[in-house]
Structure 1
C-alpha cells in the first residue's frame, strides 16, 4: 500500500492554551470567560479545547474577517497579531475651494501609512477639494520652490503651480496663463503633497 506525498503538508497548529492565548491577545480579553462571551460560546467549550488540545479554526477565520488579525499568528503563533494593520485617520476636515474662499465640506478618513508615505501628518494636513481633484496640503511647507501650492493673493485663495525664479521672483500659473510675482506679493499656505484626481 502506497502513501501519497502531500504537496502542501499540514502545519503544526497551536492548540489548547497556546491557541486561546493568541485569541485573547487579538480580542483584547484577559480571561477565558471574557473570551467565551466575546464569541458567544459556552465557557465549558474553552475548557474542552484545553483538555483535548483542540484548535477552533472557525474562530480564526471569524476573527480574521472581523478584525484583520493575522491568521498565521492565531494558527501558528508566528509574526505579529496585526501584521498589516493600518490606523485610519477619522475626521480630517475637508474644505471646498469656492470663489477664493475655503468652505467646510465634511470629513474624510485616510490611514496613517498613506499620509506618512507623502510626508504628511493629521496635524499639518489640510484637505481641499474642487471639481477636479482632492488635494492634501502640507501646511508646514510654505517656502515655494516648484510644485502646486495653496496660496493667498490679496485675500483670494487658490491652488496653483509655482516655479521659483532668480531674484526672489515666482512664476505662477493660472489656467493656461502665467505671471511673475515677488515672493512678498503672495502668502503661501502650504504645498500640495498628494492629489486624488477625479475622472
Structure 2
C-alpha cells in the first residue's frame, strides 16, 4: 500500500538576503538604544570593545546582537538588517511606545535628587494586565535593586509609595494622608508631617521589578 501523498511537503529554495553590515547596522543600534558612541554598544551587550571595531573593519553583520536587540526592544529585524520598513511598525508615536508584545517606557535613574535619562526600558505589557492605565502615562525608574514603574497620572497622595519633589529635588517616599491636607512622609525609620502643598507628586509606584 502506497503512503498517502496528499500532504506532501515541498521544499522551496530560499535565496540569501543582502544584509547590512558594519556601521550601517551599528548606527541603527545606536539609534534604537539612544546612545551616541559606537563603543557604548560593547558595554550594553557585554562584549569586548574590539568586537565592534571588527564589525566595522570587516563589514560584519552581528546577527546575534540584532536578535538580542529585537527581543529586548521590539525593533524590526527587517529594518535593522535589511533597511526595509520602519524600526517599530504599528507603534504609538510618543515618549512611551506600545506594540502588541512590547511596552517601551522612558527610563530614568535618580541621582542626587535629579533624574538621569537611561536607554528606554522594554518589557512584556502582561506585567500590567491588571492595571487599567494608559501606557502613555507611565515611566520607569531604576534603583540599586529594583526597577519601579510609576503612574504619572496618580498625583493625589492617599497611601503608598510615590516619586515626589521637594524644593526641586526628587525622592521616593512612602506617604500616608492625614486630615486637613496633611501628609506623613516616611524616611527610613523616621517620619515627618507636612502640608500637601509643600511637595509635588510626580507619580505613584504601581510595580516594582527586582533586578536579577
Q: State TM-score, norm by structure 2.
A: 0.52
Q: Shift of the alpha carbon at 1:197?
A: 2.8
Match of 1:73 in 2: none
Counterpart check, 1:169 vs 2:182: yes
Question: Whole-Å Cα distance in 2 between the matches of residues 183 and 165 of structure 1?
Answer: 10
Other structure's SS at 1:117 match: coil
Q: How does 1:35-54 map to 2 (within 5 A)?
A: 40=14
Residue ranges of structure 1 left out of the alignment (5+ in a row): 1-14, 21-34, 42-85
Question: Whole-Å Cα distance in 1 between the matches of residues 122 and 150 of structure 2?
Answer: 15
Other structure's SS at 1:173 match: strand
Per-residue CA deviations over 1:44-92 (Å, capped at 9, x if unaligned) read xxxxxxxxxxxxxxxxxxxxxxxxxxxxxxxxxxxxxxxxxx61124x2
Question: Whole-Å Cα distance in 2 between the matches of residues 169 and 111 of structure 1?
Answer: 38
2:163 corresponds to which of 144, 150, 153: 150
2:201 corresponds to which of 188, 191, 195: 188
Match of 2:150 in 1: 137
2:109 corresponds to which of 61, 86, 96: 96
Question: Whole-Å Cα distance in 1 between the matches of residues 12 and 204 of structure 2?
Answer: 51
Question: Whole-Å Cα distance in 2 between the matches of residues 107 and 166 of structure 1?
Answer: 39
Higher helix share: 1
Counterpart check, 1:110 vs 2:123: yes
Q: Shift of the alpha carbon at 1:144?
A: 0.7
Question: Whole-Å Cα distance in 2 between the matches of residues 36 and 140 of structure 1?
Answer: 53
Other structure's SS at 1:140 match: coil
Q: CA RMSD in A?
A: 2.7
Aligned residues: 123
Other structure's SS at 2:128 match: helix
CA contact (8 A) 1:89 1:110 kept: yes
